[in-house]
Amino acid sequence: MNAQALPDIAFPGHDKLVDAIDTAVSSGDEHAITAALRNTLCCMIRDRDVQLPGCVFEPIEDHYARREIYRSPQHGYSVVAMTWGPGQGTPVHDHCGLWCVEGVWDGELEITQYELLETDGDRTRFRAAGGMVAGPGSAGSLIPPHEYHSIRNTNNDEVAVSVHIYKAPMEACSMFVPQDGEWFVRAAKALATDEAH
C-alpha cells in the first residue's frame, strides 16, 4: 500500500461509521474520546446498516490480517479491521504510546492485559493482570501506559474479526518475547497492512 495514500475503502454504512467516529474523537481528552469510541463502536457493530468489506472475513493462513479500511484526513485516526484465523494471535505487545479502542465484530477473542512490573535494559517483567473472552458487540480501550496486552482467537474452527481505532496509524510496536518466569525481552516490530478491497 502506498504510504502517501489515505485508505478509504467503500462498504455499506461507511459514512455512518466515519461520522460516528468523528463525533467521538471530538469529545475532549483521551479518556473522554476512548469512552465515547467504546460506546460508538458497540453501537456500530450492532447496526445492521454498517457492514464491513467482505475481505475482512477472509483469513490469511500464516498471520492474522491487518487491513486499514479508513484513515481520517481531518483527525488523523486510523481504522483497522483485523482477521483472526483459528488459533491466530499476538504476543504481548504495546501500542507505542497510541490510545486505541478495540471491538469484536464477529467471533470471539481472548484478551489478556499485562501489568508492567519492572524493566532492566531490554528485559521487562510483566504479570498477567486479568483477561476475558470478548464476543461480538464488546469493546475496550487501551490508554498508555496501560497498553500491554495480547489477543488470540482460541477457537479451532471459526474466524474472528475485530475493529481497532488508533489515535494515529500504528506502523510499529514493541513485542515482548517470553524468557524466564515473568521476564520478557523487548523486540521492535514493524506492522504491515494487508490489502483491503
pTM of the model: 0.93
CA angle (179 as vertex; 95, 131 as ends), nearest 5: 50
Alpha helices in 1-144 (DSSP H): 14-25, 30-46
Q: For the chain, how are helix, strand and coil distributed in percent, rounded to 5? A: 15, 40, 40
Fold of 14-190: Jelly Rolls (2.60.120)
Cβ neighbors of 184 (< 8 A, separation 6 or more) are: 92, 123, 124, 125, 126, 176, 177, 178
Neighbours of 180 (CB within 10 A): 8
The residue extents of the domains of the chain are: 14-190
Strands (E), 23-138: 65-71, 78-84, 92-93, 100-106, 109-120, 123-134
Cα 70 to Cα 60: distance, rounded to the nearest angstrom: 20
Question: pLDDT tens, position by position, for the chain (197 residues)?
Answer: 334 456 789 999 999 999 999 999 998 899 999 999 999 999 999 999 999 999 999 999 999 999 999 999 999 999 999 999 999 999 999 999 999 999 999 999 999 999 999 999 989 999 999 889 999 999 999 999 999 999 999 999 999 999 999 999 999 999 999 999 999 999 999 999 999 88
On whether the CB atoms of residues 142 and 95 are closer than 8 A, the answer is: yes
Residue 44 burial by CB count (10 A; 0-12/13-18/19+): exposed, middle or buried? buried
